[in-house]
């Protein structure tokens, strides 16, 4: 509702820029980014499903991370592409659904990254007990817990945010419906909603990020005990790549959701939102898996099988 008590039925999303030439260049850039994100993550999911060698806890979580990345990108980027061509209005129910989906997938990814760090921690520090520590039932339980916590936080934050009275307008200076933007638009007291968002951020961002960093510190200490310099270099290179993605995702998300609603401009918020909604889904499959020999072997097998089937069809077999 607005400050006069009338119901708001739709919102106007302003997007990233008012310049049509800039918008067209950004449209091409983000379209290519979106297609590459979907293709690379879909390839990773397919590889995890068809390749028996990838039937391990590590790739179980990586496959789920790729599904999350595809969902997260599908929620925000298509709206961004539409707004780059022309400013689009979004109805209240669609805005609520988009906000909930972003909260759900974003929270789930925060927790899942911490679970993946724990998986690598167990594999490197306790290799003899790894299969027991990361049993199939425990992996499924951790994944379901991840979704349950994310679902609860997403529903609570969405309901509290959308009940805030707006300051007499329905214009959102953003490229998708995000909870923090509504706090800036609200006329009423936002203290309760801000505290809920802050508390939820501690649960799904601050604690998992701290756990992830500690896990990689322990992993790094274990790597230092590797006698082979080549082995140490390879392990450090992998850990450094993972940490880059983790710091980028956690850092921007924490800054966005744990700062006061009055801090930062709308344009700054949009740039930060781009970093955690567009960049990690593109980088995750490349950094986490597509450099892996087992994944490359699975993708090559899939490519060879598809070419063989295409050849058989073309020959009329």
Per-residue pLDDT tens over the stretch 129-160: 999 999 999 999 999 999 999 999 999 999 99
Q: Which residue has the tokens 């300051």?
A: 167
Q: Strands 88-91, 10-13: parallel, antiparallel or unpaired by DSSP?
A: antiparallel
pLDDT > 70: percent of the chain:
85
pLDDT confidence band for 125 (50 / 70 / 90)? confident
- pTM attached to this predicted model: 0.88
Residue 290: per-residue pLDDT? 59
Q: Is 67 exposed, middle or buried (0-12, 13-18, 19+ CB in 10 A)?
A: middle
pLDDT confidence band for 205 (50 / 70 / 90)? very high
- Of residues 87 and 108, the one with the higher pLDDT is 108
Give the closest residue to 117 by CA, choosing from 159, 61, 164.
61
Residue 291: per-residue pLDDT? 61
- In a 3-state reduction of DSSP, which class is residue 132? helix
* pLDDT surpassing 50 at residue 190: yes
Stretch 162-175: mean pLDDT: 81
Stretch 91-99: mean pLDDT: 90
Residue 1: per-residue pLDDT? 53
* pLDDT surpassing 70 at residue 235: no
- Integer Cα distance of 36 and 283 in angstroms: 10
Neighbours of 86 (CB within 10 A): 9
Please state which of the ranges 12-16, 61-65, 207-211, 260-264 shows the lowest mean pLDDT: 260-264
Q: CA 157, 182, 19 angle in degrees (round to 5)?
A: 135
Q: Are 218 and 125 in contact (CB under 8 A)?
A: yes
* pLDDT surpassing 50 at residue 280: yes
- Integer Cα distance of 211 and 209 in angstroms: 5
Residue 311: per-residue pLDDT? 42
Structural tokens at position 192:
């309760």
How long is the chain?
A: 317
Phi, psi of 7, deg, nearest 5 = -75, 135
- Integer Cα distance of 181 and 272 in angstroms: 12
Q: Return mean pLDDT, the chain.
A: 84
Residue 64: per-residue pLDDT? 94
Question: Partners of 10 in the beta sheet?
Answer: 91
Q: Are 175 and 79 in contact (CB under 8 A)?
A: yes
What count of Cα atoms within 13 Å lies in the side-chain half-sphere of residue 35?
Answer: 6
- pLDDT tens for 97-121 read 999 999 999 999 999 999 999 998 8
Is the domain covering 10-306 a CATH 3.40.50.620 domain?
A: no
């Amino acid at each position: 509702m607005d400050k006069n008590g009338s119901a708001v039925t739709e919102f106007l999303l302003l997007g990233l820029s008012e310049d049509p030439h800039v918008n067209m260049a950004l449209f091409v850039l983000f379209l290519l980014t979106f297609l590459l994100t979907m293709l690379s993550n879909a390839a990773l999911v397919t590889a995890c499903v068809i390749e028996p060698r990838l039937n391990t806890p590590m790739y179980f979580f990586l496959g789920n991370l790729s599904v999350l990345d595809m969902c997260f990108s599908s929620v925000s980027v298509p709206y961004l592409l539409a707004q780059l061509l022309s400013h689009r209005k979004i109805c209240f129910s669609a805005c609520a659904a988009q906000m909930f989906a972003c909260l759900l997938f974003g929270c789930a990814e925060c927790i899942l990254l911490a679970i993946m760090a724990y998986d690598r921690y167990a594999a490197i520090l306790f290799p003899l007990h790894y299969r027991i520590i990361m049993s199939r039932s425990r992996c499924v339980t951790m994944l379901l817990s991840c979704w349950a916590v994310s679902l609860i936080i997403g529903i609570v934050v969405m309901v509290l945010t959308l009940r805030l009275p707006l300051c007499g307008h329905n214009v959102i200076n953003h490229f998708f419906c995000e909870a923090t933007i509504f706090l800036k638009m609200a006329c009423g007291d936002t203290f309760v909603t801000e505290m809920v968002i802050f508390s939820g951020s501690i649960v799904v961002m601050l604690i998992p990020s701290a756990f992830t960093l500690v896990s990689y510190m322990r992993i790094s200490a274990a790597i230092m005990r590797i006698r082979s310099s080549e082995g140490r270099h390879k392990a450090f290179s992998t850990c450094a790549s993972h940490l880059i993605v983790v710091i980028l995702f956690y850092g921007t998300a924490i800054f966005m959701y744990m700062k006061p609603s009055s801090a930062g401009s709308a344009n700054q918020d949009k740039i930060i939102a781009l970093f955690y909604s567009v960049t990690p889904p593109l980088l995750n499959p490349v950094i986490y898996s597509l450099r892996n020999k087992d994944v490359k072997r699975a993708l090559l097998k899939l490519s060879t099988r598809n070419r063989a089937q295409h050849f058989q069809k073309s020959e009329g077999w």
